[in-house]
Amino acid sequence: MNTYMFASDIHGSAYWCRKLLQTFEESGAERLILLGDILYHGPRNDLPKEYAPKEVLAMLNPLKDRILCVRGNCEAEVDQMVLEFPCMADYGFLVLNGLTFYATHGHVYNTLSEGQNLPPMTEGEILIHGHTHIPVAEVFQAGEKQIYWLNPGSVSIPKGGFPNSYGLLQGTHFTVRDFDGGIIKEIELKP
């Protein structure tokens, strides 16, 4: 079973991108799966620590063969012009360690109580998204079926009193961790 890292909402922070990539290398993860909002901070957010989108893209581009990415609400065509890996897909279906993931940013497809909009999913599949900047690892009742709902939180602009965080899938065990290695949320996923 392989290890995969999930991260969302870097928002152009060179400081937190460096921390993320150092943690990625130390984790032994096969792939880094970015769930959007990579370079731009967005009009509703304050500038994150060491806001430097050009530095972020210079750090990420050398890893282009190890990154999978979906588009966040802050991505635009200009971002794709400078990033050397695809970043404009609204979602991606991933099968990792026998588990089926629907990976998206969360601004369109989500489980939020107001305006809930779930993608087409079957029992036991996994919706993973960022966007809210709040970590989640739980079972979610979607009509008559149960799905898993995961959110790695935010790399650079955490909300809800949570620390800066990322997600790690090791086999079928998913954890949301802070950058000191502390576990914030965890769940065992069943194929």
Contacts with 97 (C-beta within 8 Å, 6 or more apart), sequence order = 1, 2, 4, 169, 171, 172, 191
**pLDDT value at position 114?**
58
* pLDDT tens by residue, the chain, 191 residues: 899 999 999 999 999 999 999 999 999 999 999 999 999 988 888 889 999 999 999 999 999 999 999 999 999 999 999 999 999 999 999 999 999 999 999 898 887 765 568 888 899 999 999 999 999 999 988 878 899 999 999 999 999 999 999 999 999 999 999 999 999 999 999 98
Domains defined along the chain, listed by start: 19-117+160-183 (3.60.21.10)
Phi, psi angles (nearest 5°) of residue 55: -70, -40
**pLDDT value at position 115?**
57
Contacts with 144 (C-beta within 8 Å, 6 or more apart), sequence order = none
**pLDDT value at position 86?**
96
